Structure 1
């Protein structure tokens, strides 16, 4: 494995081209191993930008230090293969079993195979007369100079037919020494270097994705993606209401916890200051409706579980990091005292969504993230107070959620009404659940949930991982090709982080 803690100083880009949106070739990226009737000319590429890492683009494969074939495809009897030289962090394409005039090339993407216009048809070449196969030159996978976490695929066509076959996307083993670091690397393919947010610019889900990357740096020791912390902060600290505050108080809580994680990893006090601003913003919307609690939205009086769970955890976390604090501890304790008697914890020790207009449990779904965030909150509050009853309560709640056949059909966690996409809010919920469960597990001497976390991780790795280390929504299958969204990927990373830490 080639492991980097920061972009290589040797990285130099000899020329630049804009990252362009791809046009009609999009269907090919999603087709994977399927031959599609698309003329090679339809993949007209933007001017190729040469990238240098250990070596520069267009290196002879004869000099490769390794040859691994992670993916292949077929078209009219020809076999198209992607070759990866892990020591060189480069790859090349080959086509075999054909005839003169057959064509082969590489595509390179820096957003997980969503687009590849500026990296299309790299090394395009044809099989010469008298041969049945040929190969391209080697090209780099990553572009550290532009913070590009890349992927390659091989494409080819029979010279006398219009169909094109492309392999799935894959990459070298850089920063992929474990399940968690591979998932972190795949997630960082979806981080937008221009906005500092993750694909689709999801706001609260972006906070969760960044938290997962930060947690991975802490748990695994992989520091390659620490740059995303400051980049995200600098590019977004002035957005919306500033300091990562907005009208949805749960959104603010997610960001506050992300900056707590950033502070723990870096020691940069500005992250702690922003977390304080977020907690103070939430406090301004603690009202007497239903006897207390923070409302969901600045303009909506609804009291729900997730907002108040985040409020408890964020305030307890601040107390644990601010010497001499009493204010945030008092808020956290008040938050828990209200929450535990609010009625949102039902008779089965599962937590419903919130309270109705009569201030009683509304019977709405027991979303997984509501079962998990409270575990992280009680663990943090126990750290602040030393009250062992908090861990006992957390354990009772965790026992209920981990043993629930409703939440764990077949023993594997499944979101309530789980969809087949990765863009919805619900795609992020399971990640928050296992993150909270993992923190509780680490605080308990007997690690009672390690086997549960391992079972989830083993199932997800076996059933929903693709050749690029991307994960779909269903941890127990079936595998669903992911065309957009980062929720499933950060959820998988949260899972592997929790399993590794346990």
Structure 2
């Protein structure tokens, strides 16, 4: 485990030039680059995370920036910045893990389902980091007191990896998978996917090794008490939900196309998919509900946008690793059902929590857009193009303030204040639009 990093230092690291006439921009790449400049005001080089948002959210920001670099690979300044962010975050962020090491500690298991249906997690070893599903079905994350507020003697931020040579093994080779585990398996796997993307951009196998190690740690969560398969949401082993299992599928499938032990990862992905399809979490409308109740039945909770998205990327990657026409057919059915149900009359995607989605729900829609773009790459469809472009255009025209900050309601009007979560989520749609223009 890494020691706590003794400083709080905010760095508005060098960003891309803000040179475009912003109100008239229609080019998707220029829009995304301007939005990146606004996003990086929140990047804290000392922590390796983005201020105003949470631990797992920062993994998604990392992934989105990697996707932007992949969408515009000839922009040397952008690619260099992206590599430096990877190199800095892999060193600095572990000290910010809100519950580092808990998966190796002794733990108690308990479950409380109140009369109103609220799921609450309990564990005697907790640091103060927890997640609950409230009476409205919304996810609420609570961080330890003082999390994100590092104190101590000043250290020049120019000494941090982001200011050194980009992508060096010195910044990555000592990465320890245990540093990224926090007792919530969805968090763990968001980081695994982020580091897989870092490998794609840099070719540095240290990032891939880290992702493999994180995935191996999460395999210990298999199986649940439902039909002998699936992974739990957390070490408390009291809830089997869609997002953790979709991420397990997606991470395994991504690794199958990159790591040496392809058969191992294909097997895990197929086992997960077979179990998932047998749970009934996909309802009769073709949408995925939040998870299973204590009797292992579909709990009919919210059909969040990210639950309709993550599985798309997983199925695309599994089809690459082990082609089967049923994978892309299933992905298409889920994607089209989601677009139909989650879009307003103008084609803009919404989650039902808007405009008060909190730190978790703010991130969800971008994850759907990101994975819809992956599906379109594998199985092009005019509906996907229209959806991505419609949402990207609406974000830029209706959900942006004078500083190019992006908020939660993509249809507008702008809901203040924006933060790194709302902004990066909206950027996922902007980035997706680059490749479908």
Task: Give the shorter-chain TM-score range.
Answer: 0.7 to 0.9
Aligned residues: 340
Per-residue CA deviation, residues 223-270 of structure 1 (Å, 9 max, x unaligned), is 242211110001124642334111000001100000000000001111
User: Is 1:489 aligned to residue 423 of structure 2?
Assistant: yes
Deviations 1:158-193 (A, max 9, x none): xxxxxxxxxxxxx54599961111122211221111
Name the CA distance, whole Å, in 2 between partners of 1:150 and 1:448: 32
Q: SS at the partner of 1:424?
A: helix
| Alignment TM-score, normalising by the size of structure 1 | 0.64
Q: Which protein has the bigger strand share?
A: 1
Q: Name 1:265's counterpart in structure 2.
A: 201
CA contact (8 A) 2:224 2:231 kept: no
Is 1:208 the counterpart of 2:60 in the alignment? Answer: yes
* SS of match in other structure, 1:290: coil
Q: Judge conservation of contact 2:9–2:46 (CA < 8 Å) in 1.
A: no
**From 326, 344, 360, the counterpart of 1:425:** 360
Task: Assess if the C-alpha contact under 8 Å between 2:304 and 2:364 holds in 1.
Answer: yes
- For 2:221 and 2:343, the matched residues in 1 are separated by 32
CA distance in 2, matches of 1:319, 1:467: 43
Aligned to 2:269: 332
Conserved? CA contact 2:16–2:33, under 8 Å: no
For 2:36 and 2:243, the matched residues in 1 are separated by 25
In 1, the alpha carbon distance for the partners of 2:64 and 2:349 equals: 18
Matched, 1:301 2:238: yes
Inter-partner Cα distance in structure 2 for 1:20 and 1:191: 10
Does the CA contact (< 8 Å) of 1:368 and 1:416 recur in 2? no
Superposed counterparts of 1:12-411, under 5 Å: 147-149=13-15, 172-173=19-20, 178-200=30-52, 202-221=54-73, 222-226=78-82, 227-237=84-94, 239=97, 240-241=100-101, 242-291=178-227, 292-404=229-341, 406-411=342-347
Q: Give the Cα–Cα distance (whole angstroms) in 1 for the partners of residues 407 and 217 of structure 2.
A: 35
The match for 2:372 is 437
1:74 aligned residue: none
**Higher RCO (C-alpha 8 Å, min separation 6):** 2
CA gap 1:297/1:231 in 2 versus in 1, 3 angstroms: same
Partner of 2:395: 460
Gaps of 5+ in 2: 1-6, 102-177
Residues of 1 paired with 2:65 and 2:254: CA distance?
19
| 1:446–1:478 distance in 2 versus 1, CA, 3 Å | closer
Report if the CA contact (8 A) 1:186-1:468 is conserved.
yes
Cα displacement (A) at 1:318:
0.6
- Per the TM alignment, residue 481 of structure 1 is displaced from its structure 2 partner at its CA by 2.4
Whole-Å separation in 2 of the counterparts to 1:229 and 1:260: 11
User: In the superposition, relative to structure 1, how do residues 324 and 307 fare at CA in structure 2: closer, same or farther (>3 Å)?
Assistant: closer
Distance 1:426 1:195 in 2: 23
Question: What TM-score, normalized to structure 2?
Answer: 0.73
| Cα distance in 2 between the residues matched to 1:429 and 1:183 | 18
Query: Greater CA radius of gyration, 1 or 2?
Result: 1
Residue 327 of structure 2 is aligned to residue 475 of structure 1: no
User: Compared with structure 1, are the counterparts of its residues 194 and 174 closer, same or farther at alpha carbon in structure 2 (3 Å cutoff)?
Assistant: farther
* TM superposition outliers: structure 1 runs of 4+ over 4 Å: 18-21, 148-151, 171-177
Counterpart of 1:200 in 2: which secondary structure? Answer: coil
Moved more, 193-202 or 255-264: 193-202
Distance, in Å, in 1 between the alignment partners of 2:344 and 2:221 is 35
Shift of 1:323: 3.3
Render the CA deviation track for 1:364-418: whole Å, top value 9, x for unaligned: 10011001111111111111111111001100111101111x5435421111221
Unaligned runs of 5+ in 1: 1-17, 22-109, 112-146, 152-170
CA apart distance, 1:322: 1.7
Aligned-residue CA RMSD (Å): 2.4
Measure the CA separation in 2 of the matches of 1:296 and 1:247.
9
| Whole-angstrom CA distance in 2 between matches of 1:387 and 1:453 | 26
Q: Secondary structure at the match of 1:223?
A: helix
Task: Quickly say closer, same or farther: Cα 1:462–1:434, change in 2 above 3 A.
Answer: same
- Contact 1:373-1:436 at 8 Å conserved across structures: yes
The 1-side partners of 2:16 and 2:263 are apart by 47
